[in-house]
Amino acid sequence: MKLNSLQPAVGSTKTRKRIGRGPGSGLGGTSTRGHKGAKSRSGYKTKIGFEGGQMPLQRRVPKFGFKNINRVEYKAINLSTIQTLAEAKGLEKVTVADLVAAGFISSNQLVKVLGNGNLTIKLEVEAHAFSKSAVAAIEAVGGNAVKL
């Protein structure tokens, strides 16, 4: 084997289609564009979404809904989660930083404590929001809910 005898594998390469190079090429004349009409001419371009005069999809399908720009999205954390975290780490005060360190939330998320599960330890819980049932459950065991 020599460098001058190297060739690509059989069938791995194709010759380029040379359009508009006379009748002998077999691709002369209309150059594969068919006869007449806008599509046969240079500079042809359709509008995006044009379906040949048929009502386009973006006009057939109705508009619906909206995005509320004032929406505040919270990451929900249940009391049962806070209970297990406090027991595992031996905490008396559960903060947002503790939840981030435990991997329940990321540092840029807001936290809302929900009242699912039961709390048995007296805790001070810091969060951005609380449900009424969560506040009632925290205060029932002598703890307090601190809103950030």
User: In angstroms, rounded to a whole number, what is the distance separating the alpha carbons of residues 72 and 114?
Assistant: 16
Indicate the average pLDDT of the chain: 94
Give the C-alpha distances (Å, rounded to integers) separating 54 from 15, 33, 37: 38, 23, 18
Q: What residues does each domain of the chain span?
A: 74-147
Bridge-partner residues for 127, per DSSP?
147
Both tokens assigned to 101: 């360190």
Residue 1: predicted pLDDT: 85
Condensed to tens digits (0 to 9), the pLDDT of residues 26-64 reads 999 999 999 999 999 999 999 999 999 999 999 999 999
Burial track 113-138 (b if 16+ CB lie within 10 A, e otherwise) = bbbeeebeeebebbbebbbeebbebb
Residue 58: predicted pLDDT: 92
Q: Which CATH number fits domain 74-147: 3.40.640.10, 3.40.50.960, 3.100.10.10, 3.10.180.10?
A: 3.100.10.10
Condensed to tens digits (0 to 9), the pLDDT of residues 104-120 reads 999 999 999 999 998 99
pTM of the model as a whole:
0.59
Confidence at 17, pLDDT banded by 50, 70, 90 = very high
